[in-house]
Structure formats: C-alpha cells, structure tokens
Structure 1
Amino acid sequence: MAKRGASVGQRREACFVQGRPNFSPARSCGLRCGVSEADVVFGAAASHRGPEVSMTADAARALPPLPPLDSVRRIHVIGVCGTAMGTLAAMLMERGYEVTGSDPMAYPPMSDWLAARGLRIRAGWDASNVPADVDLVVVGNVARRDNPEALAALERGLPSISLPEALRLLHLPEGGGLVVTGTHGKTTTSAMAAWMLHRAGADPSFFIGGVTRNFDSTYRLGGGPFVIEGDEYDTAYFDKVPKFWHYPARFATINNVEYDHADIYPDLESIRRVFRRFAAQVTEHLWVGAEDADALSCASAARCGVSTFGLGTTYDHGAAIIASHGASLRVVLHDRGGPPVESVLPVSGAYNVRNFLGAAGLVRGVVDVDLAGCALLMEGFEGVRKRLEVRGEVGGVVVVDDFAHHPTAVREAIRAARRRWPESRLWAIFEAKSNTSRRSVFQEAYGAAFSGAERVILSRPFREDSLPEHEKLSLDRLAADVEAAGSEVELIPEVDEIAVRVAAQAQPGDVVLTLSGSAFGGLHGKLLAALGERG
C-alpha cells in the first residue's frame, strides 16, 4: 500500500469517471484538481498532437481511464534520469510505490543519486523495460510518440500520464499548492519559500528544478504547504500544455514574463497567453513582479486578489539595496502600510531581492508573519546549486557556476558577480546549448548582456542544428558585438581548450563565471584541476 497516498488518491478518484472529469453543476469540481469544462472540450484534440508540434495545445487533455489511485502500487517512469523525472521517481519511492525507470542517458550524477535510493535504472529504451505487472506509466517529455516503451504501454492498455499529471494526482494537496512561475527566478524563489516555511515550523513539501543547498535535494515530503516550481515548458507528446496549467494553485507568483523556449513558442504573445491562463486558475492570491509590464498584464487575468513586488517603495512588497557585503545584501524593506525596516538578506544580486519579495508573499499566505519577519526566516539560506555557486578557489582564482543562458539571466548573473566581487577581474564563459540560446532570436540581446565582464569566452554550440541558417545564433557576430561593447573576447570551441587557456591566463583575484544551462562538459572540475597543476 502506498504510504500517505491513499487519502489523496481517494479524493482525486472522486473527480473522474471513466477517465473524464466528473463535474458537478458548477464549472469545476470542489477539489480544485485543475481541470475544467474547457479541458474536456479541448482535451481530446490536444492529446493527439505529437512532440514535433511547436505550439502548445489549447487546454489540458482529459485524463485516460485510470485504476483507483489507492490501488496503484507499481509505476514505471520513462526518461527517469531527467532532473524532474528523477525527482518524481524518488518522491514516489519515498511514498511507498514500487518504481522502475528507464533512460538511454543513465549516467552520473542522476543515475548514482537514484541508485542510492534503491532504483535500478534500465539503460536505453525497449518495450521489455515496461514490467508486466505495472499499474501506471509516467512519460517524460524526452520521449516521442514512437518511443518503444510508450508504444508498449499503449498496446497493453496501460494508463500513461505526464509528470505534472502525476504530481497533481499523487502528491499535491486537495486545496492546491504554492506555485512559483515566471521566465526567471523560479528555482531560487521556490527554494526561498521552502526554507522560510521550514524555519517557521510549517513542515513544507517541495518540488524544485534545482538542488537546494539547505536540504541537499530537489524535493521534500512534509505534512504542510506544498511549494512547486511551475514551469511553462510542455509536458509529454500527448499533453502539449505548460506544466503549470496542471497545478492547482492557492497562492502563486508570476515573477516576470519574457520570450523563451523558442523551440515551442513562436513569439512573446504565445508566452503571455499561457501565463494569463495560469493567472486565471489561482484561487486565493497572486503575487506579481510589477517592474515587468508583461507580468502585470498577465496578472490582470486573475480572478483572485493580486499584490505586487519589486525594487522600490510603491509596491506591496518593496525593497531598496543599501550595500553589498560579500554574499549578503543590506536592504530596506517596504511592506505596504508599515514603516520601512532595514534587514540583511543572505543573497547576491538585485534579482534575488526580487525573488525574496515574491517568496515572502507566498509564505505570508500560510504563515502569520510580516515582511521583516520573512527576512529573519531567511537566515541561513544557502541558495541553490548552479545559481552563482562558488565551485572552488585555487591560487586565488574563484570559479563560479551559474545556470544563466537566456540573455536577461546572463546580464543579471554578471551584474550580481560584479556586485559581489567588485575589485576582481571577471571572466564570463558562455555555452550556447539550450533550445533558445542556439537561436538568432536573441542575437542583439546577447550582444549587450556581457557588459561588466572584462574577459569573455564563447564556446561553440553543443550540437549542429538543422535550423535554417538565418535562425541560428552567430557566435562570430556575437563575439564582434561583445568586443565592440568593451570586453576582450575569444571564441574557443572545446571545453578542454577553454580550461587550459583560462588556467594559463587567470591571475590571483580573478573570478571565472561559467554560464550554461548544462554541466558544460565538466568545465568547472577541469578548470580547477588545471589551475591546481600550474603550481
């Protein structure tokens, strides 16, 4: 029997009859499961769209026929070594489910992390990987329609659901969760909210797209509020909608709204549309980053209360940065209706002050505390791995890793590093690997994003694209633009060569900031080793 899952499963089961929402005369069921009549109307058409389609569907699909959820014991996860899918698998095992998983990319660190939790990963994809006695299959968005395991599940009549559907059905509480959305800052804002709730004794659960340093984990199962990072990327080949459309949200943030995910969204308006839809599904209160006009516009679709946050004094949660002290910032907090309060936040970068203000709004929805009290709850916050994370220091050279790959994130990461290490020569090493960063749509924005770094190294794209030439990011042009803006630029294709070059030229006091949405080919370890070898 799955631990702690039965009561949630029984409640969810009541919402579905033969795999379709069981609506009362009201627009949606009283359990706020995140489905509406529109989901039934559009769901069937949405479920037939394949992964090659670059537009999201109009609405979440109707779920397939499911067994009684309190009878589900065995679950197979296709694509288990993705960060989110691996996290889901670990959560399911902790809840008492028997979990199997498969992935052709079964390598450390995720493979080791899952093995330590008792999951034996079946390498590659093959119909035989799907156990004969499995009750439910969870399909990751890495699996296409012709995936042999997905086909096997279909042929055997096994119910297949996406990751966010699994979270909603098997984990999220009846009344909904605390959902963090936005183009930037989701992971750190979620980690901040989870830490403050933990410090307040609220025993939170969380599901976050990065490793929180305080918990050394991407998830936690507690008995209190559930904090979830709400991603706007799509979910599975049969469920082409943003993940956050699936999450019933009591309280939520929209941090900011920019164009991103150029592989599935054709333009900014298509991004705005999915955020407006999300805003309309929040049930109790929405916090919005009001310095961002698009975020404000999307929040206008909300049917609940809306509050604002941002740097300044005119917001419901506001702040002004007074000074930087290493990895901390001294700020004045402005809680609308209250006096300004001076506080210290254990974060770097103006964007992290904004992240805190949004996270505090979520916390105040479930804990009786004011904004200054939230700042006190932030004491001891250690951040998230790969978010301005110091990976090491050798010979006076500090190596820092950041997830930034969107031009706005690159710009803000460089600004944060410059504020934290104001006297250092700053290197910025950028890898154009993500679906967005390899495209020319941000060619101009990248040209200005590296301002503030004295030395810039651009790595060649991770893979060759089949995109038309005019749609590809030109690194040669980017190098010229960055150089024209005042930085010294090199275009070095290979990671090993980058490590050798930086180790040969870096001086004591330098800070080397790597910017990539991936592991960057192990650059950090190679660079630290090369620095150590020079004596």
Structure 2
Amino acid sequence: MHVHFIGVAGSGMGALAGLFKAAGHDVSGSDVAFHPPMGPALERWGIRLLPGFDAAHLDPRPDLVVVGNVCRPNNPEARAAIDAGLPTTTMAHALAEHLLRGRTPLVVAGTHGKTTTSALCAWLLHQGGRDPAFLIGGLPKNFDASFRLSQSTSNRGLQLALGQGGAVRANPFVIEGDEYDTAFFEKTPKFWHYRPQVGIITSIEHDHIDIYPDESSYLAAFRGFVERIPEGGLIIAAAHDRHVVETVSSTARAPIAWFALEGDDTHGMPPHWLAAPSGADSAGQSFDLFAGGVFAGRFGLKIPGLHNVRNAVAALAAAAQGFGIPLGTLGPALPQFEGVRRRQDLVFEVDGLRVYDDFAHHPTAVDETLKGLRTKHASGRLWAVFEPRSATACRGLHQQAYEHAFDAADRIVLAPLGRSDIPADEQLDRPRLAAALKSRGKDADAATSIDAIVDSIARDALPGDTIALLSNGSFGGIHEKLRARLAKKQDEG
C-alpha cells in the first residue's frame, strides 16, 4: 500500500511509519518540521517527507491515511482526507489492523516506567530467542531503532511458549501502551486497541489532565485496558500500587501475576514475583529474585534506581511466565541491558561534571529518577534542573507533591514553564514551590530563562557534581548550550 502519515515526526508516529516501511509499504508523511532526531531518521528509513499540512499532499491518492493525535479538527490535510472519503485511521488502529495479526501483543501500560519496561521486555525476549517485534516510545540503547519487525512470523519451536490455560503464545510484539487519546475524531485511549494478550501494569497515578480531568476518568481508562486482556491472557501487575491492585483485582478476566519489592505494602496480594535488593554502587545494582516463593537467583542490573528493579522484575515475569523463557537464560541477559535514551541518560561529561538527560516530569518520576542518580553517584552535589512542560506538570495539580519530589537533590533549579497555553490561575506556581523547597532546607530557585540556568551551572557547579536535566521536551536546547558553555570554560582554564 501507499500509506501516508499526517503528523509523522512525533516519536510514536515516526516509529510506526518506520514499521510500515520495514513491512514493505510505500510510506510518505507530513509535519510542520522534521527536527533531529526524528527527521533524519525518517529520511534514513526511506520515508518521503512533505513539509507543512496541505491537502495537496494527498495527491496521488494514498491507500491509507494515518492521522496523528497531535492533529486538531481544523488540520487542513486531515480534514481533506476525511471529507474526500479516503481510508483514514489512527496510529493505534493502523498498528492493530495491519501489523498485529498473527502475533502476540505484550502491552506495557502504566503512568510510570512504560518505556524502560517495554525496552527491557524487548531485550529479554530477543536474548531468549523469541525474535520479538516492538514499538517503543523511546530509543532502547540495545537496538538501533525504537521499532522492529520480527524476522519470521512462523511458529518456530523457539517462538512457542505455553501460557496459563495451555494457550500458545508465539511471535511476541512488545508495545508501549500509552493511555493518551487516539485522535481528535476518536476520544478513546490508545492502549485499548492493541489487542493485549500479555499486559504489564507498572503504576496508576493521575496524569494527562488535559485528557482526564479527574482521577476517576483516568482510572476508567485503565479498567478498560484490563478488561480487554482475555481469559487466556496474563496480567503482570504492581502489587505495591493501591490503584493498580484495586483496578486489576476488580476488573481482570485473565490470570494475574503480582510483582513487588521486599518490604512493600502489597495491599493483601501475595506477590508471585518478589525482588529483594541486595546492593547498589556506581556500576549498577543487584537483587535476589523469588518466583512463587522460591529463590530463583541473584540478578544484576546496570541502570540505577529501585524503580528500575521493579521494571526489571515485571519484564522478567513477562518473559518467563508469559513466553516460557527459562530464568537461567534471562539472568545473563539482564545486566547487558543498556537502558533507554532520555532515561537517566549520561549525555556528556566535562571537567569532572556529569550531565544527565531524563524525561521525568511527574513528581513520582522526578523523585525516583533523582534517588537513582543519588545512589549511582554518592559523592558530589546532585543538581535537579526541572522544566515543567507537560499539560499536567505546568498546572498546579501536583504543586504540593513537587515539594517532596526533589528530596534527593542538593540544588534545585526550576525552569520557566515549557508551554504558554495554561491559564494563569491554573499554572504551577514556581516561586511558591521554590520558597517551599527552601523552607525544607533546600537550595532552590525559580530561574528566569534557559540562558540564566546555563550561566548558573557554569558558574557554580564543581568537579564531581551531577547535573540532571529533567523535561519531557527539548528544554529550549539547554543540552547543547550547556555543553558548549562548559567546554568553553574548560578551554579557558
């Protein structure tokens, strides 16, 4: 087919376009801009790129038009496709209807940890010989792209696993299951459409306030996801999370495998998969794994933070219980996992300073990320440079929660809000947050600009310090600005 993507430069849409191209289709795509890294990647994958949104991009007539959820009802290209009666669909439906047939979707859902857990699942299944396909919202460092088609769709012996109830699970397809809405013309969560056979739920904490105005609407999205996992499927669920326990236990039709860390309050659910952390240093961390109450061995993990131990246990459970890979095979594969770009990602070091990039923006994610970096780098000061950018982070919904999210940091710098469309009376109050942090003994301030932040770091950071740049966006180009400024300072001696 000729498949045309409207809004192709987003991380999910771009990866899906790459998948369609890898599957042998003729692919084109339009967007307002094609900035790195997605723009060059799309060109490298052989996708024809058309600048702007214009009805003329639909000539010659595509066989299928995929409309991204960034498009609004007045998008001229999407509107023209719909009005002309062209076969029009969404990212979620295009994936489900054209690429998931004959495969076993492993869908990773949750407010936090989706990207890393999805990448872990893909890596473990790959190392276990299951030849997985995957579509992930970030770039796993163990692979050269955020998507992959399996090399074969045949039910080879290595690809077969007996799940609970005797169901055969073959040809795994790992999908990061985003709960965001599907399109302007279909206001349903994307992860409802991925036909999950094995589902992981890492956490549930109210997010995406622009889509889910209250907690009840957010919880309803996850209940709908759980309901869609069939009786012959498998749900791997976080027992430490009250919302996960309540949602899954009250809704699930499929068997449930609970996972937790030693010492967690599991809300009355005995964990099938339990990890007991056994040590952490700059090289990584280790944990003892218990499966069904039986000691299954000591496992190592290169990436820091207890939240990543949780992610690893969920992925191990999916690979072992969901797809039949022996834990003896998975053990050596786990410490080879390199992580995901923009997740505790060391982007450069200059003159003894370590600069990390991380996608964290929700208070819980900020807290876990900083704790992980503090464990990895016990000496030197930890700087938390935070840009509120998402529709939720820019609002006052988590004003008080942010007062505790930076506990692991020594120096906190709050960047200007990353979006200008939030009403003033709904905005996160940065000066108030900085004052609250100071009252708790923290060195904190609300910066006036990105350049002012770069000046502050260049002036005050010392060798041995760790700088964590936290944003779910481009953060005003701070990474390269800071790199250049610190390199210049080093050259000047």
TM-score (norm 1): 0.84
Indicate the SS of the match to 1:299. helix
Once residues 376 and 312 of structure 1 are traced to their aligned partners in structure 2, the CA distance between those partners, rounded to angstroms, is: 22
Measured after TM superposition, the shift of residue 159 of structure 1 is 1.4
State the partner residue of 2:445. Answer: 490
Q: Distance in 1 between matches of 2:408 and 2:281?
A: 19
Q: Tell me the distance in 2 between the aligned counterparts of 1:221 and 1:383.
A: 20
Residues of 2 paired with 1:80 and 1:528: CA distance?
29
Residue type of the alignment partner of 1:238: F
Cα distance in 2 for partners of 1:466, 1:459 equals: 16
Q: Distance in 1 between matches of 2:64 and 2:206?
A: 35
- Identity among equivalent pairs (%): 41
Q: Tell me, what secondary structure is at the counterpart of 2:335?
A: coil
Give the aligned partner of residue 165 of structure 1: 93
Deviates more, 1:496-505 or 1:381-390: 496-505
Following the alignment from structure 2 to structure 1, what is the Cα–Cα distance between the partners of residues 340 and 101? 25
Task: Quote the residue 1:96 is aligned against.
Answer: 24
1:391 aligns with 2:341: no
SS class of match (1:291): coil
Whether contact under 8 Å (2:198, 2:322) holds in the other structure is: no
Structure 2: unaligned runs, 5 residues or longer:
153-170, 264-269
Distance 1:377 1:133 in 2: 46
CA distance in 2, matches of 1:353, 1:466: 36
Whole-angstrom distance in 1 between the partners of 2:257 and 2:322: 15
Maintained 8 Å contact 1:194/1:206: yes
What secondary structure is seen at the aligned counterpart in 1 of 2:126?
A: helix
What's 2:252 paired with? 302
**Matched position secondary structure for 2:276:** strand
1:268 aligns with 2:196: no
Aligned CA distance change for structure 1 residues 367 and 377 (closer, same or farther; 3 Å) = farther
Single out whichever of 86-95 and 492-501 deviates more from structure 2.
492-501
Match of 2:397, SS? helix
CA distance in 2, matches of 1:198, 1:485: 46
Task: Check conservation: 1:234, 1:240, Cα contact below 8 A.
Answer: yes
* Among 377, 383, 387, the residue aligned to 1:427: 383
Change (3 A) 1:269 1:370: farther
Kindly tell me: are residues 175 and 472 of structure 1, through their superposed partners in 2, closer, same or farther at Cα, counting changes over 3 Å? Answer: same
Deviant stretches of 4+, over 4 Å: 370-373
**Who is 1:68 aligned against?**
none
User: What's the Cα RMSD here?
Assistant: 1.4
> How many correspondences in the alignment?
462
DSSP-derived class of the 1:107 partner: coil
Distance 2:440 2:373 in 1: 18
Is residue 333–residue 371 contact of structure 1 (8 Å, CA) maintained in 2?
no
Say if 1:448 and 1:485, in contact at 8 Å, map to a contact too: no
Superposed, 1:76-225 pairs within 5 Å as 76-174=4-102, 176-222=104-150, 223=152, 224-225=171-172
Counterparts of 1:227 and 1:185, CA distance in 2 = 14
How do residues 206-285 of structure 1 correspond to structure 2 at under 5 angstroms?
206-222=134-150, 223=152, 224-283=171-230, 284-285=233-234
CA-CA distance at 1:340 after TM superposition:
5.3
After TM superposition, the structure 1 stretch with the greater mean CA deviation from structure 2, 324-333 or 449-458, is 324-333
Query: Hey, what's the Cα distance between the residues in 1 that align with 2:327 and 2:222?
Result: 26
2:103 & 2:6 partners in 1: Cα distance? 29
Deviation at 1:109, TM superposition (A): 1.9
Unmatched runs of 5 consecutive residues or more in structure 1: 1-72
Offset at residue 376 of structure 1 (A): 2.5
Q: Give the match's secondary structure for 2:137.
A: strand
SS in 2 for 1:212: coil
**1:33 counterpart residue number:** none
1:401 is matched with: 357
* Native 8 Å contact 1:102 1:121 kept in 2: yes
The answer to whether the Cα contact below 8 Å between 1:179 and 1:229 also exists between their aligned partners in 2 is: yes
Give the secondary structure class of the aligned counterpart of 2:182: coil
CA contact (8 A) 1:431 1:461 kept: yes
SS of 2:197's equivalent?
strand
State the SS of the aligned residue for 2:316: helix
- Other-structure match for 2:242: 293
Residue deviations 1:309-333 (CA, integer Å, cap 9, x gap): 0111751111121211214102111
Aligned counterpart in structure 2 of residue 324 of structure 1, from 280, 285, 294 = 280
